[in-house]
Homo-oligomer: A and B are copies of this chain.
Amino acid sequence: MKILIVGSFGIDSIETPFGKAENVVGGSAVYISLAASYFSPSRICGVVGGDFPKEILKLFKEKNIDTCGLEIIENENTFAWKGIYHNDFNTRDTVYTHLNVFENFSPKIPEAYKNSEIICLGNIDPTLQLQVLEQIPNPKFVVCDTMNFWINGKLDEVKKVLTKINVLIINDLEAKELSKENNLFLAAKKILQFGPKILIIKKGENGAILFNGENKFILPAFPIVNVSDPTGAGDCFFGGFVGWLSKTEDFSDKNLRQAIIYANVLASFCVEDFSIRKIQNLTIDEINFRYKEFILYVSLL
């Protein structure tokens, strides 16, 4: 199935207890599309400045990621962010956020993208997410991310988005904030009433929960010893999930469970190095090996 990914493209500077990386590529659409590429080609929509590395545009081509919806504003700069992670990786401080080309971004979906079937709304302003959906009248399957910043600042728009999507993927803190419930299972019940049939709550190193109507699938994270940088892990999770669904064209509960395990596996690779270093150089064998390892870690034998 044809995947369209709308999200951010950025230049990140990152410090973690295990090192740092300056001016490396980041952004939700970058991570989502690279993670999905192991299962399915995709199309990306967003905006970058003239400083966006040309080798990444080349990488997109190699990975069958269509860039005809990627606007390049040559005389401006790409969205830039710098963050410092604390010892436990669960909290981070933002040093700066420069919106740059992103400030006036309004997604324009090219004609050639309008037959996209799986629409991925990366974590951007819900107003922009709605603009995307207005341009694609009958999407088959819409998967959406959001964050506390939008939940606090644009709750009405977030709630409008929720009525138009199939899957919401958020983390545990966002789920609590959106639902005003402290217990994740109560939170999920409330969020599903806002619209989506499927909710995935990510819990970082503690795994994730898939709520598919009345069904629940609870999985731990893949065990990782050498966590270098958590940036992009949630987006790789998103990309692995939609990539697998696109490849299999099967939205059954059983296949959603498989998709979320692939999501988990892609996220596990992402955190092992800074930026896209690890996620751009995987093989499908490595991914499948980790999938099988995961099954051994969670099955009753």
Contacts and interface: CB of A to CB of B under 8 A. Distances in A.
Interface of A: 87-88, 182-186, 203, 206-207, 209, 215-220, 223-225, 227, 253-254, 257-258, 261, 295-301
9 contacts: A185-B223, A185-B224, A185-B225, A186-B225, A206-B206, A216-B223, A218-B298, A258-B300, A299-B299
Contact of A220 (B215, B218, B257): B218
A212 to B, nearest CB: 11
- A-B CB proximity, top 10 nearest: A206-B206, A218-B220, A254-B301, A218-B297, A185-B223, A185-B225, A216-B297, A257-B300, A186-B225, A183-B225
Contacts of A185: 223-225
Contact of A254 (B218, B298, B300): B300
A124 B182 CA distance: 33
Contacts of A186: 225
Copies per complex? 2
A217 B183 contact: no
A299 B254 CA distance: 9
Contacts of A258: 300
Contacts of A220: 207, 209, 218-220
A87 B297 contact: no
A218 B222 CA distance: 9
Contacts of A299: 299-300
A215 to B, nearest CB: 8
A87 B218 contact: no
Contacts of A207: 206-207, 220
A37 to B, nearest CB: 24
Contacts of A300: 254, 257-258, 261, 295, 299
A301 B258 CA distance: 10
Contacts of A257: 300-301
B253 A301 contact: yes
Contacts of A87: 182
A87 to B, nearest CB: 7
A102 to B, nearest CB: 35
Nearest to A253: B301
Contacts of A215: 296
Nearest to A221: B218
B298 A217 contact: yes
Chain B CB within 10 Å, residue with most, of A87, A216, A225, A301: A301
A207 to B, nearest CB: 6
A254 B224 CA distance: 23
A87 B182 CA distance: 9
A110 B198 CA distance: 58
A176 to B, nearest CB: 10
Contacts of A88: 182
